[in-house]
Chains A and B, each alone.
Chain A
């Protein structure tokens, strides 16, 4: 097996074992109802995590994701509820703004050579602040289109619901996987994460690729914001605080190397599902405080970082003798 596949295999294995244990304790967890909710409840996180996967494979990080989700929700609520604009038009506005926002971050990262951590941290404050400037309150969204989409689902045998939102996330994951593994753009993203100097010597359009990656991440974050607004039926400036960290966790647990160059979009899907499983289990148990979710995620994350270190350290090229001591 290829070395870079090992963390992914470990994630899949852990997911299967964990799910098996969960079913052994609570047989209800095997029901399609729970499975359907898995997808729906984590749809916004999954969509944002697809963008984050590209960012991290390229060797970057995007801390603005949660704030963009929050801003998008508030923007949609304002446009739809206050100004009576049709949701579809509002979506176009939100996605367009997010694209500009991502492009600005990408340009700053490439041309000003500021680390992505700093640029997207600034982006996080900007987006969160902008959301609070629009309103400080929760603004409900009441529109026929919203109730229509929110209620759109296929019935699964066993009473589960495969919602439009859940399917949208699955579709984004499939498209994301194809883009990452089957297009030139995808190979450029991996190239940047491997070695930027080599990439540019090999003719990779570094500037265009960097900007595209952050546009992609911000647009997917806005899409996650749209999904989140369907899910909650409101826009709230403090919504989705810290979601970027959940997304990063899902990406890393899914086998993507935090330092870039290696990773799988579908691994992130398993990562998101594993996070969802932990959450669902704790709800089923009922006696555990929901903060246990964080502890389990923390432990998992730590486990995977150690695992990647072990897998990749063994193969790291040995230091040259003339290297600086």
Chain B
């Protein structure tokens, strides 16, 4: 094995790893080097290949090409236990421990000290107490894990991973469900482990946290390595630009439709928010207007949509529709008001995979009508046929299960579902994700057509070029807060990137900051 001369050898290294799922190359010759005593952030949007790389490093996937090396020696990791034996421990966003068992058992399960073949509880509790003290936790090792806060559980998970592995610690979005103080506490723990010489991989969507704790960063996009660099040489804007795409023009021409007079106010949200989901925001939505929502994953975009649609109802603020106050406390109410919502995770939240295209189209309309005025099969066929044609849904038959359709066609079915209810306001969450390029353009055309028909739309998307192409206005989310509103000539992907990355002060380019 050759080691790079002069450079400090890597503790854990992935050399040119590739992995292919069917026809899809999920990782394409990615290099990743982790040093002892560093916190290394791994960044990338959804589908960039972050979690795939992590699964290779933890033995959950086997790469189809390339090597994984520990201290310069190639290893074969057949499963997560293998990785643990080699010294790699992982802590996930959702604590993968046993809330029903005592803390001590969670620390030592599978390795409990025994005496005469029986678990030596007293010793286990003592060891647990000693171990947790090093992490600044003084809790009863005999207490149920589930009785503690997520932060404490997270630290217990880290303690277990470090105790069992000891060389590399992979933290997969450990802060996603923690509040600010808990994050600080976790950071102290991470800093302590770093000082002890552990090599730490830190995955998060929160840029502030990356800059607060990480030494170096590796950015992935579309399964490829963009760059690995020291954070001291990077700005927030650099990082966001690398995550979203290098070739974003900063002063590019905008193709946003000329602004309509904001006379036809449809819905107005004031101080609308929900604890732990999205901070209070103000948003006026007009007829015939598309509002783009930009922001990194986890910035509160989806939470905002779910709050507006009443799935996770707001706990503060007011909503007015056509000048009258409305209380949107569940999705049924929202549908009754003429709202529609196409969720981000189409497979889990959008389609009914085993039902036919026809049934998938009429289901929201049927729900709106109620069960006592059932649509006959002929009526269903007529409605489905109408939208099938209007939306150009390509299916062999309207009676085939929707799961057999391509992603783009599924998306069109879900759009049809809402259009069948004759909505006034549609929320689309990542409508073009996982859809091939041709279908992309069609969805964008559809959005434009709906706008011309007088619908109000809120479209959440990570595809900045697209958002710019169809939005009249763009609101930017960061850290669960609506931080900026861009309109008119000020809109370009570059400006959006800047708004996402900006730490505190609003840059000049933003004409209307609505941050509270």
Contacts and interface: CB of A to CB of B under 8 A. Distances in A.
A187 B81 CA distance: 18
A182 B147 CA distance: 22
B97 A202 contact: yes
B84 A198 contact: no
B515 interface: no
A187 B112 CA distance: 10
- What interface size band does chain A fall in? 20 to 34
Given A187-B119, A321-B312, A194 B303 contact: no
A2 B98 contact: no
Given A190-B101, A321-B303, A202 B146 contact: no
Contact of A315 (B143, B147, B311): B147
Contacts of A178: 118
Interface residues of B, number: 36
Contacts of A198: 96-98
B109 A191 contact: yes
B462 to A, nearest CB: 16
A202 B110 contact: yes
A194 B99 contact: yes
Given A178-B118, A203-B81, A322-B303, A184 B112 contact: yes
Contacts of B277: 321
B274 interface: yes
A182 B119 contact: yes
A135 B81 CA distance: 50
A31 interface: no
Interface centre among A182, A188, A261 (most CB of B within 10 A): A182
B235 interface: no
A197 B96 CA distance: 8
A199 B177 CA distance: 22
Nearest to B108: A187
B99 A321 contact: no
Interface string A169-198: 000000000100011101110110111011
B453 interface: no
Interface string B347-362: 0110000000000000
Interface in B106-135: 106, 109-110, 112, 114, 117-119, 121
B144 interface: yes
Interface of A: 2-4, 178, 182-184, 186-188, 190-191, 193-195, 197-199, 201-204, 261-262, 315, 317, 320-322, 324-325
Given A183-B118, A186-B119, A198-B96, 6 more contacts: A4-B144, A178-B118, A187-B101, A202-B160, A321-B277, A322-B306
Interface of B: 80-81, 84, 96-101, 105-106, 109-110, 112, 114, 117-119, 121, 143-144, 146-147, 160, 177, 274, 276-277, 302-303, 306, 311-312, 331, 348-349
Q: Would you list the 7 A-B pairs with minimal beta carbon distance, nearest first?
A: A261-B100, A194-B98, A194-B100, A321-B277, A182-B118, A198-B96, A325-B311
21 contacts: A2-B144, A3-B144, A4-B100, A182-B118, A186-B119, A187-B101, A187-B105, A188-B110, A193-B100, A194-B100, A198-B98, A201-B80, A202-B98, A202-B106, A203-B81, A204-B109, A315-B147, A320-B177, A321-B276, A322-B303, A325-B312
